Amino acid sequence: MSRGAAAADLRDARVLVTGAAGGIGAASCRLLARARAHVTGADLDAALVAPSCDERVALDVTDDAMVARVVGGVGPLDGLVLSHGVTSLGPAVDTPMAAVDRVLAVNLRGAIAVTQAALPGLLERGGRIVVLSSVSGFAPLVHRTAYAASKHGIHGYFDSLRAELVGTGVSVTIVAPSFVATGIEQRATYRASGPAGEWSTAGEVLGADDVAAALVDGMARRRALVLPSRTARAAYVLSRVSPRGYARTMRRRVLGDG
């Protein structure tokens, strides 16, 4: 089945996308709209949500009452795309706990809160859950310890949820790209001064449109795990075959060690 044919399976699907004001979230909204899904885009400021959405709503994923109100207002969903996220940049020893708390609250707890609010409707309609993770969700990433912790938590929760939902008709897809040019670093909850706070990468840098295309395709095909680049696929294999080797390679590419 071609990617276009797979996306056609989302026609008329009612989908909620978080983090829809930019980056991968906004790109996913555009592709879902092109697939003729009915898209509700959500972000902190509704006015900034992608104009391709049929509906645009304000949503703070850390506010449980707001989550319940927004998800309840959208109604039963055929699809949920969790693409919101924040990061912190710098050595763990210097990162304030307030920054750690914010990263975990938004990336992990926020994703869980929206999912649990939407789950009854998704179960009713045999829907699809898609959550944006990262290579750092299954492998280490220096100077992004809080971010990596949140993404490891994403894998723990959503892999477990997938196992729990077997036989219900609800699919759970985790998308784990390598570095993506979304501007998330500019919105970091904490950024160290000097080189430790600079954005350095390991391997190719993807565009938001590339990741969104893989995300929507994986959603349509109900895939368990989407690794949308050669770097992500190589990281997945190496981190399992040789964890020490992966750590050395990652440190060398990100920090310039060795």
Q: Indicate which residues carry an active-site annotation.
A: 147
The answer to whether 89 and 185 are in contact (CB under 8 A) is yes
What is the number of H-type helices and E-type strands within the chain?
9, 9
Question: How far is 55 from 222, CA to CA, in rounded Å?
Answer: 24
- Tally the residues of the chain: 258
Q: What six digits make up the tokens of 192?
A: 């160290």
- CA–chain centroid gap for 195, Å, is 26
The answer to whether 67 and 41 are in contact (CB under 8 A) is no
DSSP 190-251: -B-SGGGGS---SS--EEHHHHHHHHHHHHHHT-SEE--SHHHHHHHHHHHH-HHHHHHHHH
